[in-house]
């Protein structure tokens, strides 16, 4: 008699611990809002383990101690889905979305489910770039998890799915007897990068992207490995549900799944009509690169479940839903060759020559391979089929080879030992990843790049002096240094191919204008290592003239705010070099004379001590113009928004920085607002 009572109370004790641990897992992994310390959590877990050790009959499949309990499998079993897992139709442009909305609206109109002028209501969601999974809960307990497979039959990944801490082993609240939840398993970008680092340190497989890492982690036969992988899950639908569905809208069912303890994306929106869909697509696209995980599009679903039923299916895809894809950020193509580019400072960058491929909205033929170490790490070889990535506006890069497709006879890449441009030795300092040509300004590639840099908009801003002309001027030995540019005549320039007299005159006029630059621009134009725009500005403000700067010793240089030992020693080396002194003198002879600098203190200026961030396109001012006005008013311009940002100045097509400003409560100005503060 007493044993029975005892047993019931022990079971209650274990149950209470299940609920408590499940609740804290939910707070921690789903809501990101833990309410007890790790130590307190560990104590609950230890208590449960002790109890189960003393009374093994208390161990149930849905006990939190069993998340990683399972032994390695020999193979995955197969699971037939009680309700098939459908696929999604795709759209790649607005017209396809408009056609979808029209089809839906016409059908529902004919069925009397929308008024004559009515718009269809949709649920708009992210399209997570992961793996589709079906979870089966019976009496609230997770009993089975399966991959989508062909939609009818998938693989049994229950032991692996149990290790996902964000998934409840036991549902909360008022759950139905049978509930099949469908969703996507994925890995956050940051977790993917950390995993790859750890994999590399252990000499194990590197994953090419988060999706691949999530798939590889889920397809482990040993759940103990899966347990170490930071996988996440978001529910987006359902299969079998016993009894009557308590809601009539897709969005309400997803909210309900959230209340049962399942992770559901909060970034969903209920929208009306095609315009609502397209706005969601555009807004989400602007935030896309800032999200912690990868999405490859958005998904639209007719919100009314009754309307979904009327619309029905074609083949294996529902007529009530549509995936609207963003241009793929990754594609595969052939690596035809690896060439090296020599930069302004001699840095040797390997560049991949690719079979042209459409990725991220443009056709890509070249992609960076960063440096030799990266090529080795990724083991990329000429002839490989490679994955090319172009995310946002960043330079396309080669992510890695697809080893299964490697042809025979490929060879490891080695950086050339001599510069392909000038034949000088290529050196690689032990502690640096970058090889450099030692030719200095003897190397035509370095000379060309220095001149292109000096002519750039942030430097001397010499309009009409592009890369092509610089190539010709250097190749013909007409220009050997920055100073030589200022000796060019209309006659000489007009003698170059594709150079009319008018263009030559314009260029000579542009050069004339560039003879009196602001000091900071001239300093920046010289291309001294470690002297970027900001440092050039600080130096100009501090010293006021090029002569004063050239006369400064280390102590004087270090007394400038923001100038450290690296900048100081680079400046000293630059001005100690006879060739550079010659160029400085030649510049003077050619009439290059920087403007006098007003060394006014910034105190009392309108934006003194304030940092502003620019985003989007302003109606009248270019980014550089706006920056100059802000600096003139004593303010600073930064590239990223933080709580310390005084204002975000937003123009057309402002992106994530505007979103961030709104999140942080940073005041946002338009161009007019900025002018009002400045003037």
Give the catalytic positions in this structure: 127
Q: Where are the alpha helices (DSSP H) in 60-165?
A: 94-110, 158-161
DSSP state of 191: H
> Could you tell me which stretch among 70-78, 85-93, 398-406, 638-646 binds ligand D41 (CB under 6 A)?
85-93
Q: Are 345 and 419 in contact (CB under 8 A)?
A: no
Q: Which of residues 554-613 bind ligand D41 (CB under 6 A)?
A: none
Q: Is the CB of 313 or the CB of 358 nearer to ligand D41? A: 313
Q: Which of residues 227-256 bind ligand D41 (CB under 6 A)?
A: 236-237
Q: How far is the CB of 77 from ligand D41 (least distance, A)?
A: 21
Q: Are 157 and 73 in contact (CB under 8 A)?
A: no
Q: How far is the CB of 138 from ligand D41 (least distance, A)?
A: 21
Rounded CA separation 309/285 (Å): 30
Q: How far is the CB of 270 from ligand D41 (least distance, A)?
A: 14
Q: How far is the CB of 563 from ligand D41 (least distance, A)?
A: 50
Count of residues that interact with ligand D41, criterion CB under 6 A = 16
- Apex CA 260: angle with CA 258 and CA 263, to 5°? 40
- Apex CA 74: angle with CA 208 and CA 48, to 5°? 90
Chain residue whose CB lies nearest ligand D41: 237
Among 13, 87, 119, 212, binds ligand D41 (CB under 6 A): 87
- Determine, following the binding rule CB under 6 A, whether residue 186 of this chain makes contact with ligand D41: no
- Apex CA 514: angle with CA 450 and CA 498, to 5°? 70
Site string for ligand D41, 620-659 (x = CB under 6 A): ----------------------------------------
Q: Are 295 and 265 in contact (CB under 8 A)?
A: no
Q: Is the CB of 123 or the CB of 615 nearer to ligand D41? A: 123
Q: Centre a 10 Å sphere on the Cβ of residue 257 and count the other Cβ atoms it contains.
A: 22
Q: Is the CB of 126 or the CB of 574 nearer to ligand D41? A: 126
Site string for ligand D41, 93-132 (x = CB under 6 A): --------------------------------xxxx---x
Among 231, 299, 454, 546, binds ligand D41 (CB under 6 A): 299
Rounded CA separation 60/138 (Å): 14
Q: Is the CB of 253 or the CB of 612 nearer to ligand D41? A: 253
Among 162, 170, 232, 301, binds ligand D41 (CB under 6 A): 301
- Determine, following the binding rule CB under 6 A, whether residue 401 of this chain makes contact with ligand D41: no
Q: Are 436 and 421 in contact (CB under 8 A)?
A: no
Site string for ligand D41, 131-160 (x = CB under 6 A): -x---------------x------------
Burial bucket for residue 373 (CB in 10 Å: 0-12, 13-18, 19+): middle
Q: Is the CB of 247 or the CB of 495 nearer to ligand D41? A: 247
Q: Is the CB of 282 or the CB of 403 nearer to ligand D41? A: 282
Rounded CA separation 236/183 (Å): 5
Q: Is the CB of 293 or the CB of 486 nearer to ligand D41? A: 293
Residue 584: partners with Cβ closer than 8 Å, 6 or more residues away:
546, 550, 575
Q: Is the CB of 265 or the CB of 415 nearer to ligand D41? A: 265
**Among 126, 152, 146, which residue's Cα sits nearest to residue 263?**
126
> Could you tell me which stretch among 84-92, 193-201, 344-352, 656-664 binds ligand D41 (CB under 6 A)?
84-92
Q: Which of residues 505-524 bind ligand D41 (CB under 6 A)?
A: none
Largest distance between two CA atoms of the chain: 114
Rounded CA separation 520/538 (Å): 8
Among 184, 330, 397, 484, binds ligand D41 (CB under 6 A): 184
Q: Is the CB of 149 or the CB of 544 nearer to ligand D41? A: 149
Q: Which of residues 264-293 bind ligand D41 (CB under 6 A)?
A: none
Q: How far is the CB of 237 from ligand D41 (least distance, A)?
A: 3
Is residue 399 helix, strand or coil? Answer: strand
Q: Are 630 and 612 in contact (CB under 8 A)?
A: yes
- Determine, following the binding rule CB under 6 A, whether residue 318 of this chain makes contact with ligand D41: yes
**Among 109, 82, 93, 95, which residue's Cα sits nearest to residue 302?**
109
In degrees and rounded to multiples of 5, residue 634 shows phi and psi of 85, 5
Among 86, 145, 241, 426, binds ligand D41 (CB under 6 A): 86
- Determine, following the binding rule CB under 6 A, whether residue 321 of this chain makes contact with ligand D41: yes
Q: How far is the CB of 660 from ligand D41 (least distance, A)?
A: 24
Residue 608: partners with Cβ closer than 8 Å, 6 or more residues away:
602, 633, 634, 635
Q: Is the CB of 210 or the CB of 237 nearer to ligand D41? A: 237
> Could you tell me which stretch among 83-91, 139-147, 207-215, 357-365 binds ligand D41 (CB under 6 A)?
83-91
Q: How far is the CB of 301 from ligand D41 (least distance, A)?
A: 6
- Nearest-10 crossing angle of helices 565-576, 578-589: 70
Q: How far is the CB of 133 from ligand D41 (least distance, A)?
A: 9
DSSP lists the bridge partners of residue 300 as 124, 322
Q: Are 514 and 587 in contact (CB under 8 A)?
A: no
Q: How far is the CB of 323 from ligand D41 (least distance, A)?
A: 7
Q: How far is the CB of 327 from ligand D41 (least distance, A)?
A: 17
DSSP lists the bridge partners of residue 135 as 145, 181
Q: How far is the CB of 287 from ligand D41 (least distance, A)?
A: 16
> Could you tell me which stretch among 82-90, 344-352, 550-558, 560-568 binds ligand D41 (CB under 6 A)?
82-90
Burial bucket for residue 395 (CB in 10 Å: 0-12, 13-18, 19+): exposed
Long-range contacts of residues 214-220, Cβ cutoff 8 Å, at least 24 apart: 214/130, 214/131, 214/185, 214/186, 214/187, 215/131, 217/160, 217/187, 218/131, 218/133, 218/147, 218/157, 218/160, 218/161, 218/185, 219/76, 219/157, 220/160
Q: Centre a 10 Å sphere on the Cβ of residue 358 and count the other Cβ atoms it contains.
A: 13
Please, what's the b/e burial string for 498-520 (b: 16 or more CB within 10 A of its CB; e: otherwise)?
Answer: ebeeebbeebbebbeebeebbbb
In degrees and rounded to multiples of 5, residue 546 shows phi and psi of -65, -35
Dihedral sign for Cα atoms in the order 499, 501, 504, 510: negative
Q: Is the CB of 318 or the CB of 517 nearer to ligand D41? A: 318
- Determine, following the binding rule CB under 6 A, whether residue 294 of this chain makes contact with ligand D41: no
Rounded CA separation 78/542 (Å): 73
Q: How far is the CB of 183 from ligand D41 (least distance, A)?
A: 8
Q: Is the CB of 41 or the CB of 126 nearer to ligand D41? A: 126
> Could you tell me which stretch among 80-88, 339-347, 535-543, 612-620 binds ligand D41 (CB under 6 A)?
80-88
What are the residues binding ligand D41 (CB under 6 A)? 86-88, 125-128, 132, 148, 184, 236-237, 299, 301, 318, 321
């Amino acid at each position: 008699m007493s044993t029975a009572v005892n047993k019931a109370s022990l079971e209650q004790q274990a149950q209470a611990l299940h609920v408590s641990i499940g609740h804290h897992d939910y707070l921690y992994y789903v809501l990101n809002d833990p309410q007890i310390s790790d130590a307190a959590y560990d104590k609950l877990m230890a208590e449960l383990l002790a109890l189960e050790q003393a009374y093994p009959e208390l161990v149930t499949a849905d006990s939190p101690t069993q998340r990683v309990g399972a032994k390695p499998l020999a193979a995955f079993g197969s699971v037939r889905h009680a309700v098939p897992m459908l696929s999604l139709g795709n759209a790649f442009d607005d017209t396809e979305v408009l056609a979808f909305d029209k089809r839906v609206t016409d059908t529902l109109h004919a069925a009397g489910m929308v008024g004559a002028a009515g718009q269809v209501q949709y649920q708009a969601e992210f399209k997570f770039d992961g793996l589709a999974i079906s979870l089966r809960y019976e009496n609230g307990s997770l009993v089975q998890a399966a991959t989508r497979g062909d939609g009818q039959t998938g693989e049994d990944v229950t032991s692996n799915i149990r290790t996902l801490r964000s998934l409840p082993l036991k549902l909360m609240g008022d759950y139905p007897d049978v509930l099949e939840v469908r969703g996507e398993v994925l890995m956050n970008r940051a977790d993917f990068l950390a995993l790859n680092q750890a994999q590399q340190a252990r000499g194990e497989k590197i994953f090419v992207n988060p999706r691949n890492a999530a798939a590889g982690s889920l397809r482990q036969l040993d759940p103990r490995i899966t347990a170490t992988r930071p996988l996440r899950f978001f529910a987006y639908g359902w299969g079998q549900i016993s009894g009557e569905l308590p809601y009539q809208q897709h969005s309400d069912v997803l909210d309900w799944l959230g209340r049962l303890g399942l992770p559901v994306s909060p970034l969903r929106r209920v929208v009306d009509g095609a315009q609502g869909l397209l706005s969601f697509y555009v807004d989400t696209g602007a935030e896309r690169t800032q999200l912690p995980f990868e999405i490859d599009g958005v998904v639209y679903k007719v919100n009314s479940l009754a309307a979904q039923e009327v619309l029905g299916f074609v083949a294996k895809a529902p007529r009530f839903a549509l995936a609207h894809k963003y241009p793929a950020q990754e594609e595969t193509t052939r690596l035809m060759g690896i060439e090296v580019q020599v930069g302004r400072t001699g840095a040797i960058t390997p560049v991949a020559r690719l079979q042209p491929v459409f990725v991220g909205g443009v056709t890509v033929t070249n992609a960076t391979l960063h440096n030799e170490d990266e090529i080795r790490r990724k083991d990329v070889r000429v002839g490989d089929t490679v994955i090319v990535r172009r995310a946002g506006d960043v330079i396309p890069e080669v992510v890695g080879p697809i080893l299964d497709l490697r042809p025979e006879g490929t060879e490891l890449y080695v950086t050339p030992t001599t510069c392909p441009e000038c034949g000088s030795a290529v050196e690689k300092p032990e502690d640096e990843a970058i090889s450099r040509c030692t030719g200095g300004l003897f190397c035509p590639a370095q000379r060309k790049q220095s001149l292109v840099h000096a002519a750039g908009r942030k430097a001397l801003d010499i309009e009409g002096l592009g890369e092509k002309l610089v190539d010709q001027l250097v190749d013909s030995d007409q220009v050997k240094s920055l100073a030589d540019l200022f000796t060019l005549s209309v006659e000489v320039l007009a003698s170059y191919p594709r150079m009319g007299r008018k263009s030559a005159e314009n260029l000579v006029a542009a050069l004339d204008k560039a003879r009196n630059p602001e000091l900071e621009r001239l300093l920046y134009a010289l291309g001294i290592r470690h002297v970027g725009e900001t440092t050039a500005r600080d130096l100009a403000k501090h010293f006021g003239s090029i002569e004063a700067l050239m006369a400064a010793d280390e102590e004087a240089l270090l007394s400038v705010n923001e100038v450290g030992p690296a900048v100081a020693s680079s400046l000293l080396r630059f001005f100690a070099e006879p060739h550079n002194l010659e160029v400085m003198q030649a510049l003077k002879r050619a009439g290059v004379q920087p403007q006098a600098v007003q060394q006014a203190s910034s105190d009392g200026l309108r934006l003194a001590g304030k940092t502003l961030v620019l985003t989007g396109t302003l109606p009248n001012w270019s980014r550089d113009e706006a920056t100059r006005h802000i600096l003139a008013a004593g303010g600073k311009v930064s590239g990223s928004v933080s709580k310390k940002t005084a204002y975000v100045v937003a123009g057309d097509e402002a992106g994530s920085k505007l979103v961030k400003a709104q999140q942080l409560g940073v005041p946002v100005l338009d161009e007019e607002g900025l002018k009002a503060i400045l003037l």
